[in-house]
Amino acid sequence: MSFFGIVDTFSSGTFTGWSYNSSVIKQTLTVKINDLKVREIEANILRPDVKAAGVAPEQCGFAFQLNIQDLPADGCILSLVDSTSGIQLENGIFTLLDGILTPGFPDNTAEVIRPSLSIKQYLKAQEDKFGDQTTALVAKDLLKAIEHLPINTFVALSYLLVLGRIPDPVGFQNSLSNGRFEGNAKFQFVLEMMRSEEFKKKRTPTLVLADLQGCNFSRLS
């Protein structure tokens, strides 16, 4: 499972953004007040900018409004989380104090919230935040999709999905001759490719995951 999502804008009780959980078809968010679930929002608005960035399918956006006057008068914490995983969206926490809803937690809002991030900035922040953990998780997702294939097909698809190119003849033969691909070897092969300098310059784990969406490699086995 991989999850990406962010609150793009907030103004006068109106929230907009996008959210995508790769483990489910229907994308839903939960609005919480002081950790109590008060509302569920479906993320089904078209976001061609998100799709173009290779992050998620186009139908992943959301927009909804809350009446600030209906929130607890003595203050509260409002949060937006993915309904399936419970993971909080980036920029998805707000504090109500003295009738004013402010992004972030009390007393340190400047540290918690960032101004509206572009999709590229968001992806960079995610990579910086989770680093090799994200790389390993995506490598496992990739392995699940192609590990059943014959070795030559597995190697060729690894190059294509990870590096975005077909393998050069020398690199292809070296991969076949050097790798025995037993036990955990296939995972290490994919992981090392995703840790390479070529990968870091050209691709991100998020783009690999996006390329996997909707692919069915069962006919290749």
Q: Do 70 and 108 lie in a common domain?
A: yes
Residue 125: its pLDDT value, please?
A: 53
Tell me the mean pLDDT in the region 36-40: 87
Q: Do 138 and 204 lie in a common domain?
A: yes
Which of 117, 147, 182 finishes a domain? 117
pLDDT tens digits, residue range 101-146? 888 876 544 444 444 445 555 555 555 554 566 788 888 888 888 8
Share of the chain above pLDDT 70, in %: 83
Q: Tell me whether residue 123 is in a domain.
A: no
pLDDT tens digits, residue range 52-71? 888 888 999 999 988 877 77
Based on the structure, what is the number of domains in the chain? 2
Domain that includes residue 83, residue range:
3-117
Lowest mean pLDDT among 41-45, 49-53, 145-149, 212-216: 212-216
| CATH label of the domain that carries residue 60 | 2.60.40
Task: Give the pLDDT band (50/70/90) at residue 4.
Answer: confident
pTM exceeds cut of 0.85: no
Residue 29: its pLDDT value, please?
A: 93
* 46 pLDDT above the threshold of 90: yes
Q: What is the per-residue DSSP string for the chain?
A: --EEEEEEEEETTEEEEEEEETT-SS-EEEEEETTEEEEEEE--EE-HHHHHTTSS-SEEEEEEE--GGGS-TT-EEEEEEETTT-PEEEEEEEEEETTEEEESSTT-HHHH--S---HHHHHHHHHHHHTHHHHHHHHHHHHHHHTTS-HHHHHHHHIIIIISSPPPHHHHHHHHHH----TTHHHHHHHHHHTSHHHHHH--HHHHHHHHTT---GGG-
* 165 pLDDT above the threshold of 50: yes
More confident position, 140 or 205 = 140
